[in-house]
Amino acid sequence: MDETGVLGLIEELAILLEDSKPVPFGKSNMRQVDIDLAGEIIDDIRGTFPSEFAQARQIVRERQSLLDDAEAESVRLIEDARSQAMTIASEQEIVRIAQQQADAIMADARELERQTRAGAEDYADEVLGHVEQSLSSLVTSVSRQRERLNNQSTR
């Protein structure tokens, strides 16, 4: 379920509370609520958050896998460059050129790893920011509904 689903469930719970009838011969803040329906809505809300957190964790794992692959590729490239440099080591000039190429490949691999890591961290930060925003919105909505319920009960 996406954040609209969670907010929709909270709105559904708020409507259930708002539409509930007062308890006969009770205090004005006492209401009759279909406990089964309210329980289902709360269970749906509880069921939604673990999946959102699992999605965020899966994204972080996938990004880490990308970083690991980039690092392994950079190590392989460096080893290839070193191997090539050792094979051509017969003349001084050729060795110097091979070392320059190996350094360039190492620099490129490190830059690729840096860019991949930065991108993965930015993406993970964006996903976690979305989860944080969803949670904040949920807390705000619950607070408003409690305040509305308390205001109705004081009338």
- Determine which of 25-29, 59-63, 67-71, 73-77 has the lowest per-residue pLDDT on average: 25-29
Mean of the pLDDT values across residues 123-149? 91
Cα(79)–Cα(16) distance, integer angstroms: 66
3-state secondary structure of 33: coil
Cα(154)–Cα(145) distance, integer angstroms: 14
Q: Which domain holds residue 14?
A: 3-153
Q: How sure is the predictor about 90, in pLDDT bands with cuts at 50, 70 and 90? A: low
pTM for this entry: 0.34
Determine the pLDDT at residue 133: 93
- Give how many domains the chain has, as a whole number: 1
Tokens 């993970």, residue located? 124
Q: Sign of the CA dihedral 4, 9, 10, 11? A: positive
